[in-house]
Amino acid sequence: MRHAYMRATADFSPKISMDHVANVFAGFEINSVERKLRANDGWGYLWDKGGVVSTHPDVMDYLKQQGDVYYAYRESRDRRISSFMNVAYSYAGKYIFNGGFRYDGSNQLGSSRDARYLPSWNVSAAWNMHEESFLKDSKVISLLKPKISYGYNGIMGPATSAELTIYAKQTLRPTDNEVYNTIESLQNKDLTWEKMYELNLGFEMALFKNRIMLDVAHYRRKSIDLIDFVYTSGVGGQAIKLGNIGNMKSRGFEFAVSTLNIATKDFEWKSSLNLNFHKSEITKLNNFSRISSAISNTGVAMLGYPQRGLFSIRFAGLDQDGIPTFYGENNEIVYDMNLQSRSDIDKVLKYEGPLEPKSYGGLTNTFRYRNWNMSLGLVYKWGNVIRLDDAFYPSYNDYSAFPKELKNRWRIKGDEQLTSIPAILDKRTYKRIEGKQTYQMYNKSTERVAKGDFIRLKDLTVGYSLPHSWLKGTFINSANLSFQATNLLLLYSDSKLNGIDPEFYLSGGVSLPVSKMYTFTVGLNF
């Protein structure tokens, strides 16, 4: 790999007067990364014979039959350039203005100039109202600072490259094998930045000599040219490709307050609370998802819904044999449906909610009594839904992991009035739905959705500072002991999750729930 990086900046602060303070900051960056990968599998090294190398010709034939690569070479170039400038000005320490401009370019996006380069900007203003004569001597308001900002910026999105990608492969013929080139992805010359307009309104306030401190903000965002996979007709040579296919609007509210509730010589109690609310809606989408995509665990983008909305097949109950049934497009009872259909998805399916929480936040209380101190922190998330694991099938084998819910499954006729857990089918009954997707649809139905809401005891800390009288005559100036427990207890979650952590449900990969941690600390100051 060869990496070249250059950055140059200039900072200028003209001396105008005591009331007028200005600053100009400008610069540019150039970043280039060239990667060359060479890989080689060295066959024929005989470890058990002193490292003798055998170049038997059958090795190449073996590699051909296995489809393995003996030698590979890959090359990539990632080049970016940026220029930026920021201007700041304040008058009398009361009125503050900022403006910034940035120009970015990257070869990872489309080849056209409009796609590859992006100008971005932002402006902001703030007013220190507490410095005004009508508030300067106030005994109630210690700080009052309304602020506003508006800007336009962009990110590269999930696309790694818009260039033509070609790999060398080998034919899978019984005879006459030969090497050929295959196109992994076509050039996408119009793929461009994801862009966003953002407006922020808010204020900071402190009351009663900073005993109560508030920070409130409201934002509105308009995102355009969002990147996602789009299903094409295939006429251009690629059925699925990345494209700038959508727009989205979002808005939110952020609230933070910290208070000094009690303050005496021996006892002190502080609290801090933060709340966040968020809502998004897709306003433009040049893509039509299939039913199979809409009911997936990861959610789907749909016009008029949040960015990652979860949809479900409408469950209609069990039939007389314990087989799941569902509502079709016209509310008729069905056992199967075309999961590849793209028409009227919102009529066939039920919208469950977003996968991302509508609200999240936390509450922390800190106490001090003489030399003792304790901190207690709670966190919450609310408003999202979770698709439960695919756990039900018409039949099982000895290697299957049986879900706990099977204890309440359909067993005899009439149980369909008592339970919604489908039966384990005998061969005769299974013939009725053979070739159908009935149980797969049940796993993606309204019965298999849980709320993602939770309240967690995140942190608990207890500490003690040793009195100075205990340390007299020693070389220790101060000493303290503390015990901290993290992720101590899940206070509330949906009973459908059966105790599984909603924050890490279906996270995939090697992700594990955050473990409980206990830490004991001894601090000594010499």
Q: How far apart are CA 392 and CA 410, in angstroms?
A: 12
User: In this structure, what are the phi and psi dihedrals at residue 248, rounded to the nearest 5 degrees?
Assistant: -150, 145
Residue of higher predicted confidence among 521 and 51:
521
pLDDT digits (tens, 9 = 90+) for 82-124: 999 999 999 998 999 999 999 999 888 877 777 888 999 999 9
Residue 324's pLDDT band, with cuts at 50, 70 and 90, is very high
Residue 240 has pLDDT above 60, yes or no: yes
- CA proximity to 447, closest of 354, 260, 317: 317
- CA proximity to 142, closest of 217, 216, 215, 212: 212
What is the reported pLDDT for 181? 72
pLDDT digits (tens, 9 = 90+) for 482-502: 999 999 999 999 999 888 888
User: In this structure, what are the phi and psi dihedrals at residue 283, rounded to the nearest 5 degrees?
Assistant: -105, -15
Residue 159 has pLDDT above 60, yes or no: no
Q: How far apart are CA 519 and CA 491, in angstroms?
A: 21
What is the reported pLDDT for 137? 87
Q: How far apart are CA 52 and CA 62, in angstroms?
A: 20
Q: How far apart are CA 505 and CA 484, in angstroms?
A: 26
Neighbours of 98 (CB within 10 A): 16
- CA proximity to 281, closest of 323, 256, 248: 248
Residue given tokens 């105008």 in the structure block: 16
Residue 506 has pLDDT above 80, yes or no: no
SS3 of 425-466: the string is: CCHHHHHHHCCCCHHHHHHCEHHHEEECCEEEEEEEEEEEEC
Residue 342's pLDDT band, with cuts at 50, 70 and 90, is confident
Q: How far apart are CA 510 and CA 435, in angstroms?
A: 34
What is the reported pLDDT for 509? 46
Contact 83, 118 (CB under 8 A): no
Q: How far apart are CA 436 and CA 319, in angstroms?
A: 15
User: In this structure, what are the phi and psi dihedrals at residue 497, rounded to the nearest 5 degrees?
Assistant: -80, -10
What is the reported pLDDT for 276? 98
Residue 163 has pLDDT above 50, yes or no: yes
pLDDT digits (tens, 9 = 90+) for 398-429: 887 788 888 999 999 999 999 999 999 888 88
pLDDT digits (tens, 9 = 90+) for 360-403: 999 999 999 999 999 999 999 999 999 998 888 888 888 877 88
> What tokens appear for 406 in the block?
């099977």
> What tokens appear for 157 in the block?
């999105």
Residue 161 has pLDDT above 90, yes or no: no
Q: How far apart are CA 87 and CA 226, in angstroms?
A: 30
What is the reported pLDDT for 185? 75
State mean pLDDT over 326-337. 92
Tell me which range, 39-53, 62-76, 442-456, is most confidently predicted by mean pLDDT: 442-456
Using CA atoms in the order 461, 467, 471, 476, what is the torsion angle rounded to 10 degrees?
A: 40
Q: How far apart are CA 182 and CA 463, in angstroms?
A: 64
Neighbours of 178 (CB within 10 A): 8
Q: How far apart are CA 350 and CA 326, in angstroms?
A: 12
pLDDT digits (tens, 9 = 90+) for 165-181: 776 666 655 566 666 77
Q: How far apart are CA 389 and CA 496, in angstroms?
A: 11
- Supply the pTM of this predicted model: 0.83
